[in-house]
Amino acid sequence: MAFKERVFSGVQPTGNLHLGNYLGAITKFVALQDTYDCIYCVVDLHAITVWQDPVELKRTIREVTAAFIASGIDPKKQIIFNQSQVAEHAELAWIFNCVARLGWLNRMTQFKEKAGKDRENASVGLYAYPNLMAADILVYRATHVPVGEDQKQHLELARDISQKFNFDFAKSIASHGFDEAFFPQPEPLIQGPATRVMSLRDGSKKMSKSEPSDYSRINLTDDADTIAQKVRKAKTDPEALPSEEEGLKPRPEADNLVGIYAALNGTTKADVLREFGGAQFSSFKMALVDLSVAKLGPIGAEMKKLVQDHDYIDSILADGSKRASVIAGETMKAVKDIVGFVRS
């Protein structure tokens, strides 16, 4: 069977959204809505795999929702919702807990990184996290998943789970009249430049909400002065900008700033260097401040306005959840039949 093409992706409501989230994920989500039916999820169930302050969690769920809308995702045409309002995610995740093998999860590098040395003290949820992510995608039988490099391994796991489910239940799938490929094999969509935005203080580290220095990142809600200050203080080296991309290779900080400029401007690094090759950082940074403020300023302002209107944001999430539930409910009914549960 040919699956209906459908995009699914999720963003965790933890901490402030920054330029890395925007260029690495949200702008890609915006672009995809022209070609696909898209479901964008605020993955609050994933967030609580590490401790979240309940008051802060509510705030960040609304903030991510506001960022989606302010960036241009149309909540009427696409589906925007938060994961915990559609119970089928957790339901299918349990079934997948029984499909995925311990050996598969033991290979997940993100768990090893996040759990660190104190693995005994990590939550069971953090360990089973990739199974829930597989359920997120497959409960909508999504075919395309925009993700960063760091999520590719989880997506491979989702494909393994899909395949094993289809295989283990092949007889039951056929006897219920479903196509033998009940779940699709979701494909990653990894596109465009500056998918990886690096720290403004250290070009070898990803821009991150957990980095102690706020000068390492540009938050989506930073005002113009703050953006200007952060760009001005961004780490560079004493050389002028090169004229060819090759010249950026040994210079991670220069590479990062040129990449950010290109991504914000919708051009390539080569284009940026054609314009700024030979220029000093002082003048390039001025141009980068102007561009960042022009592009991010209106989004930040709109976000700040939207997050204050709880009724509006919550109604978007309620409407999205209702529409998502229709699709997820259909899948879950079929899954129950396939697995052999009795249902009304």
What residues are labeled active site? 114, 206, 209
List beta partners, residue 146: 189
Q: What Cα–Cα distance (Å) separates residue 113 from each residue in 24, 118, 119, 210?
A: 20, 11, 10, 14
Is residue 295 within 8 Å of residue 222, measured between CB atoms?
no
Q: Which stretch binds ligand TRP (CB under 6 A): 3-11, 159-167, 270-278, 312-320?
A: 3-11
218-257: contacts with ligand TRP (CB under 6 A): none
For residue 8, the minimal CB distance to ligand TRP (Å) is 6
Within 13-52, the residues that bind ligand TRP by CB under 6 A are: 43, 46
What tokens appear for 73 in the block?
Answer: 């995702």
Q: Which stretch binds ligand TRP (CB under 6 A): 7-15, 240-248, 254-262, 315-323?
A: 7-15
Cα dihedral 64, 301, 24, 216 sign: negative
Q: CB neighbours of 50 closer than 8 A, spacing ≥ 6?
A: 14, 114, 123, 126
80/137 with CB nearer ligand TRP = 137
Residue of 17, 99, 145, 316 interacting with ligand TRP (CB under 6 A): 145
Backbone angles phi, psi at 134, to 5 degrees: -65, -40
CB-nearer residue toward ligand TRP: 12 or 219: 12
Q: How far apart are CA 47 and CA 224, in angstroms?
A: 30
CA quadruple 66, 68, 71, 75: dihedral sign = negative
Q: Tell me the closest approach of the beta carbon of residue 216 to ligand TRP, in angstroms.
A: 19
Beta-carbon count within 10 A of 254 CB? 23
Minimum CB distance to ligand TRP, residue 294 (Å): 28
* Residue of the chain from 79, 147, 197, 272 that contacts ligand TRP (CB under 6 A): 147
Rule CB under 6 A: say whether 157 interacts with ligand TRP. no
Cα 208 to Cα 16, 20, 316: the distances in Å are: 9, 8, 28
144 scored as a contact of ligand TRP (CB under 6 A): no
> Which one, of 51, 47, 50, lies nearest residue 14 by Cα?
47
Q: Does 189 bind ligand TRP (CB under 6 A)?
A: no
Question: By CB under 6 A, is residue 86 in contact with ligand TRP?
Answer: no
Of the pair 52, 151, the CB lying nearest ligand TRP is at 151
- The residue within the footprint of ligand TRP, chosen from 137, 200, 288, 299 (CB under 6 A), is 137
Residues that bind ligand TRP in the complex, under the rule CB under 6 A: 8-10, 12, 43, 46, 133, 136-137, 145, 147, 151, 154
